[in-house]
Amino acid sequence: MMKTTSRIIIADDHAVVRTGLQLILDETGDMEIVDEAKDGDELLTMLERKSYDLLILDVSMPGRDTIEILKEIRERWESLPVVIFSMNPDEIYAIRMIRNGAWAYINKETKPWKIIEVLRTVIGGKKYFFPHQADMLAEMALNPGKADVLPHNLLTDREAQIFSMLASGISKSEIPEKMNISIHTLSKHRNNIIKKMNVSTNSELTRYAIRHGIIQ
């Protein structure tokens, strides 16, 4: 009996990440990256033309927000499992992505053997949550109002992404290029973040992020 190889598409704007995952999965024999996309629009075009067993989706790509892309995928390709691949902190993004239909959220620093385990679990039809992610989900289920009163949970998905970058020390000149937005748009988002978080400086954002375990 022939062994079935799962067809995977990856969407990530960094070639080194796509190549690294390809090398990891080449060793498995049961998973193969058959297509690569550099941004959301290219990804959606590929999904219209071909079918896949799994999508690995980077959380921060140029152009359209990843949450928007994920929502559209859930509407148009409901049965396609999506695994989010990210360098961003779980506390900011994991629950947001899971709420919007992601089957798993993997940090890019995860060991290769664990990445393989997660992908096989998802391809097998099950969602995968790391222990700390399961704890966050359980806390939200048991105390639905508690998490919502924390200032960072009042941010929109795009504001949360910018908050994470500002708190991590990424300069205001770098963020527009990374997110494909204008300086003016960044300023509007930053003003909203400052207001919702009730702070006045980026240093205060950093201290808040450290206090709540959002950055180390």
Q: pLDDT digits over 141-188, tens only?
A: 666 555 556 788 778 878 888 888 888 888 888 888 877 788 999 999
Interval 136-142 mean pLDDT? 71
Helices then strands, each counted (H, E), the chain: 10, 5
| CA–CA distance, 111 with 17 (Å, rounded to integer) | 14
| CA–CA distance, 53 with 9 (Å, rounded to integer) | 8
Q: Does residue 9 surpass a pLDDT of 80? A: yes
Instruction: Single out the residue of 152, 163, 215 nearest to residue 191, CA to CA.
Output: 163
Q: Does residue 55 surpass a pLDDT of 90? A: yes
Contact by Cβ (8 Å): 166, 202: yes
Contact by Cβ (8 Å): 43, 11: yes
Highest mean pLDDT among 14-23, 127-136, 155-164: 14-23
Q: What domains sit in the chain, N to C, each tagged with a CATH number?
A: 6-139 (3.40.50.2300), 150-211 (1.10.10.10)
Which residues is 188 bridged to in the sheet?
A: none
147 Cβ contact partners less than 8 Å away, ≥ 6 residues apart: 139, 140, 153
Residue 124's pLDDT band, with cuts at 50, 70 and 90, is: very high
Mean pLDDT, the chain, rounded, equals 85
H/E stretch holding 106 reads: strand 104-107
Tell me the Cα Rg of the chain.
18
Could you give phi then psi for residue 165, rounded to 5 degrees?
-70, -45
Buried b (16+ CB within 10 A) or exposed e, 107-138: bbeeeeeebbebbbbbbeeeebbbeebeebee
Taking the chain, what is the end-to-end CA distance rounded to the nearest angstrom? 49
> Range with the lowest mean pLDDT among 78-82, 89-93, 136-140, 198-202?
89-93
Q: Does residue 92 surpass a pLDDT of 70? A: no
H/E stretch holding 193 reads: helix 183-197
